[in-house]
Amino acid sequence: MSDYHHGDLRKALLEAAHAVLNEKGIHGLSLRACAAKAGVSHAAPSHHFKSLSGLLTELAVIAFGDFTAVLRQAYDDGDADSSLQQRLQAAGDAYLQFALGEPELFKLMFSSPLPDHQNERLCEVSGQAYAELTRVVKPLCDKRGITDKASVEQAEILVWSTIHGYAHLSLKQMDSHGVCEDLTAGMPPIEILGTLLEPG
């Protein structure tokens, strides 16, 4: 097949990169492997991507867009009677299930040095995912009378680090033991953290 008549070569290479990532992991990625998976010559990626980093940066941009949509859907699926805590729990569950459903992609997004994490578009979409996860934190802080900006930002970081840390450790457990019932059940109740930190 001619590289120039492939159809949507750019899309095909991104899909191939995703497939290779799932099959071989981050360490199995190369432009040559992606080209072979897409059924084009090893020189074909250069028509759209100057390097493996460029290809994987674009893959990460797409992944963060999908990730943001998953978090937004989890939040918006709550009915009018859903409490802020329930919406935060739903976002945490969605975060974990995305990680478990796309473990290699999740590692690429958050742990790999291969994408260009200074890329403007990647910074923008990763920021959108963070904002979607923490959108409920400010209203929760308002309810508790926490209004200064620094404290709200610290609360957002605490929420993110708790959920992300649990997802990261769950992937390690999945790598070692497979997916167990504890993981498929979702995030532990996030309210436990608040209970632990309440003054005795």
Q: How far apart are CA 147 and CA 152, in angstroms?
A: 7
Please check the confidence at residue 183 and state whether its pLDDT lies above 90.
no
What is 1-50's CATH number, 1.10.10, 1.10.260, 3.40.50, 3.30.70?
1.10.10
Portions of the chain given CATH number 1.10.357.10: 51-197
pLDDT value of residue 104: 96
Instruction: Return the top range by mean pLDDT from 28-32, 88-92, 116-120.
Output: 116-120
Terminal Cα-to-Cα distance of the chain (whole angstroms)? 70
Fold type of domain 51-197: Tetracycline Repressor; domain 2 (1.10.357)
The single-letter DSSP state of residue 190 is T
**Average pLDDT of the residues in 48-52:** 87
pLDDT value of residue 179: 58
**Average pLDDT of the residues in 167-191:** 73
Portions of the chain given CATH number 1.10.10: 1-50
Residue reference for tokens 């992991």 = 25
pTM of the model: 0.87
Q: Which of 83-87, 113-117, 179-183 has the lowest mean pLDDT?
A: 179-183
- 3-state secondary structure at position 134: coil
pLDDT value of residue 4: 44
Amino acid at site 191: E
**Average pLDDT of the residues in 87-111:** 94
Count CA atoms within 13 Å of residue 172 on its CB side: 7
- Determine contact, residues 90/78, Cβ cutoff 8 Å: yes
| DSSP H helical ranges for the chain | 9-24, 31-38, 52-76, 84-101, 103-110, 120-133, 137-143, 149-177, 181-184, 191-197
**Average pLDDT of the residues in 170-176:** 80
